[in-house]
Amino acid sequence: MRMNGFAAFLMAVSVGCVDGVVDVDEPVTSATSQDLLGGVSFGGDCTPGKTGFLDTTVRYGRAVAVSRAFEQCVEQAMFAGVSHPGGGWSGRYRQCNGEPFFGQSFEVQLGAVLDAARSGNDILLNCTGGGGNASTSLGAYDRTDTESLNFSGWLDAVYNQPRAGAWPNSQAAGIVWHEMMHQHGYSHGANDQANAITACGYAGDATWNFQVNTMPYLLGNCVSAVLDQSASTCGNIDSCPAGQTKLVTSYGAATCECVADPKDSVVARTQSSFMHTTTAANTGGSLTTLSHPLLDGHSDAIVQFQHVYSGTYLGYHPVAWYNYGTGRWVIQTQTGVMPLGTAFLVRIGRGVVHRTTTANTAGYITTIDQPLANGNWGVTLTVSPTPYAGSSSGMLDPHAFGTYYDPGTNRWTIFNQDGAAMPINTGFTIDVETAHNRGLHYAHVVTAANRSSYMTRLSSPFLDGKSNARFFATPNWTRGGNVYNTNEFGVWFDGTSWWIYNEANGTVGAAMPIGAAFDIEILKDEVQRWVRVPESTSGVDTGIDLTTTDRVHVHAAGKLVPDPFGGIDGPEGTGIASGWPFPLGSASDFSLIGQLPGDGLFAIGRDLWRNGTSSTQRLSLRTNDWWLGNGSGFYEAEVRAFR
């Protein structure tokens, strides 16, 4: 499989630096070692210079492959298409004849391609012998042997070129991941449109293009795009602690984070958020002054907030803005006095600012143009009013607002619930959450069963019984019964459940309308680890100590041969629980299982959600195999603990 035209597609690299970018989410690393992408080796045809270049390239690529920005790019490219920095476009994904998950659902295909992009296989990079920019052969999706590719003269031409932004490493990383998709069975039909369109099954369809619609291009271009975008937004991508790469916090975001190399470490992600309670010391008149190292002096911080009831009602249309006089961010009520003893959840460093203009605003509606949301009905939007953000001036808008998806323009919008005109030159801070982290964000619809007068009760394993849960709610007209709720609202924990309640003018608000809907985005810190679980192991240390309050997700892929007698099993095993002598008799034979020193063995399979442990315990993984070392292959598992 060759890659003609790929160079031209991504050569336009934007280079630049945004002053005052707020750095958030510094991860911690642990010393235990496991592999993502297995071992990397180089052909005898690679000079030391090329080996060094490719080693750096693959390290960048690994950090991208585990990043949120990459997941979002791939998901949006597959579902609706996505634009890249410096021009270029990938998607929508349209499967090519013969692909490994041909004809299956979007969710299945998205999960499968993310698994392939994070394969634990060893990889051999040869520096010569390739066609186009590089080439390889078409492989099988579930292979566990060494993957390989051959670069062409392209590598000679670029490896010692001066770095421009993240190029040429960004393009080289895109090439590696493009070829890996071929090694996992994904094709683009041929290396020219005339033959590819027929081979992939789209003869006569002028809207299909092999460099736009197929998985190898889509995925490789997302790897390149995240690196190019990070260099453009964050400056030097090497300006993190050793071994970490500075990447955008989400696709198209204005903020950056340091991402640990997943080959060697637990990747930690921390939400930069805090609870602010109004006191006599920080509050006067309509204003309460926030204080946080990522806010103080940072006029360009990305700020979102949510009113949390702690004894005092609000309902005065609060907004957040930066006070240049004091160098502090404030939350200000638009229609009343800021009460003492009320609380706000404040999040920093996630999302983008939308400003209303005559071009994007008409009547009571303003239309959002965001690469991750355009054309994608399924995203979760969190919106906070920040009237002066990204501007030296701005208009107030003292009205309850919500979001809705306009199927005519295929764009998300923000609208005033009471139909009042949306002012020109006001601002909203918007965070877009895509499907991959579903469960941490979802739509809540008000029903007779969950409503009590002016309140509606939420239900989620991340919220129920958790007094310290942090979340945002944003009214979404599209999700429920197309119902308006002209009241403002707050959130409240009653000791058991979280509620959204209407409030107005310092007291309770009107009845919560049945059919009204809210996008809920739950903020969790997260530690994440990829481990390879070979047939021969009696326990692979994940490096993660699970705690009593964690919510844990394990996702696994890969194949192994458990013994000389046949049967290649995925992490779900054979589906038969044979009992003795298997280590966990109640679990499927040869499936992936977990191991805790205090709580014992537990079944995992391909996907498992579970609550934390009875005490803090280190998690290790193994196969449910009673005779170890007489087979081959391995499972690959992604472990995530949300806390």
**Alpha-carbon span 446 to 500, nearest angstrom:** 10
Query: Of 1, 200, 346, 639, which lies in the binding site for Zn ion, with binding defined by CB under 5 A?
Result: 1
Residue (1 or 77) nearer to Zn ion, CB = 1
**Alpha-carbon span 232 to 241, nearest angstrom:** 19
Backbone angles phi, psi at 412, to 5 degrees: -80, 150
Q: Which residue is nearest to Zn ion (CB)?
A: 1
Residue (4 or 574) nearer to Zn ion, CB = 4
Q: What number of residues does the chain have? A: 643
Residue (130 or 168) nearer to Zn ion, CB = 130
**Alpha-carbon span 59 to 265, nearest angstrom:** 13
Residue (3 or 352) nearer to Zn ion, CB = 3
Q: What is the DSSP string of 348-405?
A: ES-SEEEE--TTTEETTEEE---TTTTT-TT-EEEEEE-TTTTSS------S-EEEEE
Strands 147-151 and 123-126 turn out to be parallel
The least CB distance from residue 84 to Zn ion, in Å, is 18
The least CB distance from residue 222 to Zn ion, in Å, is 15
The least CB distance from residue 183 to Zn ion, in Å, is 10
Residue (24 or 65) nearer to Zn ion, CB = 65
Residue (1 or 40) nearer to Zn ion, CB = 1
Residue (155 or 641) nearer to Zn ion, CB = 155
Residue (179 or 433) nearer to Zn ion, CB = 179
The least CB distance from residue 228 to Zn ion, in Å, is 20
Q: Which stretch binds Zn ion (CB under 5 A): 56-64, 216-224, 325-333, 589-597?
A: 216-224
Token code pair at residue 173: 């990383």
Q: Which stretch binds Zn ion (CB under 5 A): 2-10, 69-77, 505-513, 547-555?
A: 2-10
Closest to 230 measured CA to CA, from 201, 254, 205: 254
Query: Of 81, 216, 475, 490, which lies in the binding site for Zn ion, with binding defined by CB under 5 A?
Result: 216
58 scored as a contact of Zn ion (CB under 5 A): no
The least CB distance from residue 184 to Zn ion, in Å, is 12
Q: Which stretch binds Zn ion (CB under 5 A): 215-223, 439-447, 505-513, 634-642?
A: 215-223
Q: What is the DSSP string of 610-642?
A: EE--SS-EEEEEEES-SSTTSSEEEEEEEEEEE
Q: Which stretch binds Zn ion (CB under 5 A): 208-216, 230-238, 618-626, 633-641?
A: 208-216
**Alpha-carbon span 637 to 119, nearest angstrom:** 10
Indicate the helix (H) or strand (E) that contains 540: strand 540-546
Tokens 């977990």, located at residue: 594
Q: Which of 446-456 are b and which e, b meaning 16 or more Cβ less than 10 Å from the residue's Cβ?
A: beeebbeebbb
| Binding-site size, Zn ion (CB under 5 A) | 3
Strands 455-457 and 498-504 turn out to be antiparallel
The least CB distance from residue 47 to Zn ion, in Å, is 25
Q: Where does this chain bind Zn ion (CB under 5 A)?
A: 1, 3, 216
